[in-house]
A and B are shown apart, each in its own frame.
Chain A
């Protein structure tokens, strides 16, 4: 099968269901990279199950690993839930599932949340305080994320900001800037120069 945008062979195939209509996308390696920059259109939550089913047997973007790894059925070591179980029930088994199946879940979560890739908002307050004082079970990084994750979060917000400006939603844009600023301040607090 050929890519929707050029003549190269398509390596990722994606089916989304929007307003009851099935929309298929077939992209080559180059175009799917571009596609990641411009996230897929919104997609209703109660349709996620049909999306997941529609994707059964298809290649999930980001899931292309080595052949050996692909052959082994994907499974959460902590609770035994497989990716196939998840596709069937749309429920995960335990918090660890998010870590162990991150590459498969990432694109699904992104589509279900209008292209969002990272959490923005409340953080467990006591856990964060405890980790800052060094007395918590978890490190500050385990709560706020690694430098890379924090950079990814900022770039997600930048995309949202550009989108708001393009749609001339200036008040919204201002609030996204506030959000980015407050993340920057939290960062500064973490790494005093």
Chain B
């Protein structure tokens, strides 16, 4: 196994080289897999802390450095993947941190280095390990908890994500002592994560329910089932492009496989059926309208000269719906899904090879979309 550590020189404090992830497609955003007409991706996240250290929000800087060094060493030597990329985020350029957020490899909070409500900042010692080349596994160190193990899959495949997360967790636990109590399970900085520390999430594309004004019903039902609904970029983010992330809110008193079963057999298939029903009804009643909206969106994407990321996401969402429903034979919906990533600000700038302000990004985004969709009919 080889390891790349762009954030470290020989003394662990070296200069950052650029992180070259922006050109490759993201495995979990391939738009394939089970129920992929509605489910974009699945994710399992495990929160873990080391015994004998304060949680990051209460730890001294030297404790945090110590935890970081310890975790980096154990993670890179645990044989988790063919190749592990390690990034010291406190040494990374802001644009690289944004790139990682856009690829869902780290949280926004981790990019900022926030430790609590009002503490922390970009200098906080913290990092992330990413399994290459597929980027389906990432491990954040010194986020809200010492370790956040995250496994992603394209389409609906929480079971396989849990299988890998469980294996990775065992390999790390062989080398590190976790904070664990018989009563509360894996101990976490926030008591809302104790127990299994396991968060199951699926990213859903619900444009038909949105058009039918049924999203509030989904939200209410989710609340009744103790699920949280968030936007494309997690906590606090808006549901851009009709993408919604659904995840469990409770982690205590329910075994992982129990929760998995609930999500796999009860909750998600029901939401998927609901969206599919709304799509069928839309096509039956107003197929012309759906096709019109999809082609209009494609027209905007192919011809606009200035484009915000919100507008681009809205248009791509409409086109994706049209493509998935078979109304747009010339469109490859996987290509459309990939475009949702490369139009994000950091990706756009890295692909262009230069920094751009917001106005330049609008122009650059429109250019990119015109080029990418030029041959599409």
Contact = CB atoms under 8 A, between A and B. Distances in A.
B250 A113 contact: yes
A24 B167 CA distance: 44
A46 B116 contact: no
Nearest to B192: A45
Contacts of B250: 45, 112-114, 116
B179 A95 contact: yes
Interface stretch (B46-54, B268-276, B320-328): B46-54
Contacts of A15: none
A99 B169 CA distance: 24
> Chain B interface mostly helix, strand, loop or mixed?
loop
Contact of A122 (B144, B166, B174, B261): B166
B174 A126 contact: yes
A141 B180 CA distance: 12
A6 interface: no
A149 B196 CA distance: 17
Nearest to B223: A44
A119 B57 contact: no
B315 to A, nearest CB: 31
A120 B258 CA distance: 10
B27 interface: no
Interface in A83-99: 88-95, 98-99
A164 to B, nearest CB: 11
A19 B258 CA distance: 26
B55 A120 contact: no
Given A93-B58, A113-B253, A119-B184, 17 more contacts: A44-B249, A46-B249, A81-B58, A89-B116, A92-B189, A94-B55, A95-B51, A98-B184, A109-B191, A119-B195, A120-B254, A120-B255, A121-B196, A121-B198, A124-B180, A143-B180, A144-B182
Ordered nearest first, which 7 A-B pairs have the shortest CB separation? A116-B253, A145-B182, A119-B185, A93-B58, A95-B179, A121-B255, A113-B252
Interface of A: 19, 42, 44-46, 48, 78-79, 81, 88-95, 98-99, 102, 105, 108-109, 112-127, 137, 141-146, 149-150, 152, 156, 160, 175, 179
